[in-house]
Amino acid sequence: GNKSAVVLLGGGSPKNFMLQTEPQIQEILGIKEAGHDYFLQFTDARPDTGGLSGATPHEAVSWGKIDPKRLPDAIVCYLDSTVALPLLTHYALARHKKRRLKRLYPKRNACMKKLTHEYLAHNKVKT
């Protein structure tokens, strides 16, 4: 299918919620998927302190949240999010020309149909 990416500011519950979509697709829906293709996290939590926000991309691979083939491309930047987001935003806006907004909300029905089709292709429906 398509590629997926995560940009995480900090960690904790929002990080887990975002990353949990991949195991749900794999285990609950039964759709063959390797995990997110791109991973970028800004956090001030380090793995050596034991904080869950500091969980590395390597750990996410073990749960099927990140594609192991893409692990070398995963980036964790140890920087406070209030510093990182303005820098990243400025860079992105300065580096690329303006483009039309994608407006994903109106496309939600088409996305649900595609997900349902994938689910039905990989699972037998019990009647």
Active site residues: 65
Rg from Cα positions in the chain: 17
Instruction: Tell me the backbone φ, ψ of residue 79, rounded to 5 degrees.
Output: -155, 140
Q: Is there a contact between 35 and 22 (Cβ–Cβ < 8 Å)?
A: yes
Fill in the amino acid letter for 107. Answer: K
Return d(Cα 51, Cα 59) in angstroms, integer: 13
Return d(Cα 33, Cα 19) in angstroms, integer: 13
> Counting beta carbons within 10 angstroms of the beta carbon of residue 119, is it exposed (0 to 12), middle (13 to 18) or buried (19 or more)?
middle
